[in-house]
Amino acid sequence: MSRHVRRRWISDFSAPSRSENRSCEYEAYIPDTLVDRWITLDGDVAADVADAEVAIARLNTEATALVDTEALARVLLRAEAVASSRIEGLEIGARRLLHAEVVRGMHEAASDVTAAEVLNNIDAMTFAVESVSAGDPITVEILLDIHRRLLAGTRLEQYGGIVRDQQNWIGGNSYNPCSAAFVPPPPENVNDLLQDLCAFSCTDDLPAVAQAAIAHAQFETIHPFVDGNGRTGRVLIHIIFRRRGLASNVLPPVSLILATWARDYIDGLTQFRYVGAPTSKSALAGLNTWVGRFAGSCTRAVSDAGDFEKRALEIEQVWRGRVGRIRANSATELLLRALLGAPVVTTNSAAELIGRSFVQTSEAITRLVEAEVLRQVNVGKRNRAFEAPDIIDAFAALERQLATPEGDTLTSEPVRRVLRRRT
C-alpha cells in the first residue's frame, strides 16, 4: 500500500537564515508498485484514451503524407524537447535555439548555456526514440543513458545517469524539506521502484496512452535523479509510445500541452499519489483524473501538430511559387523540402542533409536566397549560415508562449541548490 514514512532532518547549519537551518520531522512518500496492480479506467476516461490513440495513430500514418515525414518528425521532436525544457524554466526562442544548433554542428565551443541544455534535451529525446522500437524492452539502463545525455557538459554532468543516494524534495526552501510540498521516496526505495516501473513499461495489458500516463506519473513520483527528472520522465512517454508501435514515425508534442496546462498537469500528478490501497475510491479517482487529463493533452497535441503540418505545406507551396520550376530530385528540390525540418543550415550541413555535393548544394542555396526562401545570417563567431524565416516563425508559433508550473526540486547537497526550478 502507498504510504508516508516519517523521517528526521538534521540541519548542517549551512543555511543563511534561522528557519532554513532548522531540523524537523518530515514525511516521504512511497508509492505502490505498478506491476500486477489492478487498474480500472472509468468509461469517459477510457473513451478519452481511445480518442487519443486514434489521433496519434492518424498523425503517425496519414497526416505525414502532406509534407516530408522526416522533416516533420525533426520539427515535432524539437518542439517536444523545447516545451519539456520550458516546463523546467529553460526559456529559449526558436531562432536562438536553431542558431545554437548550427554552431554546435561546427564544433564551436558553446557560449549559450540555456541553448546547450535544451540541445541536450533534443539529443536525449533523439537517442531515446532511436533506441526503442516496437516490442523492445524499456530498461533502467536506457533511462540512465537518457539522463546521462541530458546532463552532458553541464555543471551537474557528474550526476548524469546516477540514481540519487540521498533525499530530495519539491517546493519549500533549498536547505531542508521541512516546508516541502512533496517529498519523494527515500533513496533506499528508489532502485526497486525503478525496476518495477520499467517492468510495467514493458507490459501490454493497458492501452498505450494509459500506460504512458501512469508510467510518467510514477517516474515523477519516484524522482530518481538529482536533476532532470521532469525531462527524463517526459522522454519515457515517447519511448512507451514507440515500444507499443503507436508513434513510430513522429512524436506528438505532448509537452507543449502539458506546459500550457501547467496547473492541471501538476494537480493531476498530485492526485495520482494516494495513501492506502490501490483499489480504494480515492486511488482510482486520482488515477482516472490524471489519465484523463493526459489523454486530453495527447489529443490536443495531435491537433496542434496537424495545424503546423498544414501551415508547413502552405509555406512549401509559397516557396515553390517564388522559386519557379524545379527539377525533380535536384539539390534545390531536396533542400526546399528539408528546410521544413532544418530551417537554419550552412552549406556543409545542407549538403550532408540532402546527400549532394558542396557545389550542388551551394548553387541550390544561391537560388533559394535569390527567391527569398533563405537569407544569409551570421552565427557563432561570424560563421555564415542561411535561415528560412517563414518556417522559423511557424515553429515559434507551434511552441508559443507557455506557462511554467510550480514544482521545484530541491536536495540537501549545496551544488543542487540552484535547481529549484528544474525538476
The cell numbers describing 241, all together, are 509510445
pLDDT value, residue 417: 27
Distance of CA 146 to the CA centre of its chain: 11
Q: Domains of the chain: which residue ranges?
A: 55-307, 309-399
C-alpha cell of residue 98: 536553431
Q: In whole angstroms, what is the distance from residue 338 CA to residue 304 CA? A: 21
**Whether the model pTM is above 0.85:** yes
Q: What pLDDT, on the 0 to 100 scale, is given for residue 412?
A: 41
In contact, 31 and 184? CB cutoff 8 Å = no
User: Exposure string (b/e) for 134-153, b if CB count within 10 Å is 16 or more?
Assistant: eeeebbeebbbbbbbbbbbe
In angstroms, the first-to-last Cα distance of the chain is 26
- Residue at grid coordinates 528508489: 190
> Which residues partner with 186 through β-bridges?
none
Question: What's the fold here for domain 309-399?
Answer: Arc Repressor Mutant, subunit A (1.10.10)
Q: What is the DSSP letter of 357?
A: -
Write down the CATH superfamily of domain 55-307: Fido-like domain (1.10.3290.10)
Q: In this predicted structure, what is the pLDDT of residue 336?
A: 93
Q: Of 69, 60, 52, which is closest to residue 298 (Cα–Cα)?
A: 52
Mean pLDDT of each 10-residue bin along the chain, 423 residues long: 95 84 94 94 97 93 61 78 80 82 76 84 90 95 96 91 94 89 96 98 97 98 94 94 91 86 92 95 96 96 86 91 94 92 92 95 97 91 87 79 39 33 34
CA distance 261 to 85: 15
CA distance readout (Å), 262 to 76, 80, 200: 20, 15, 26
Within 10 angstroms of residue 199's Cβ, the number of other Cβ atoms is 17
Q: Give the rounded distance of the alpha carbon of 79 from its chain centre.
A: 9
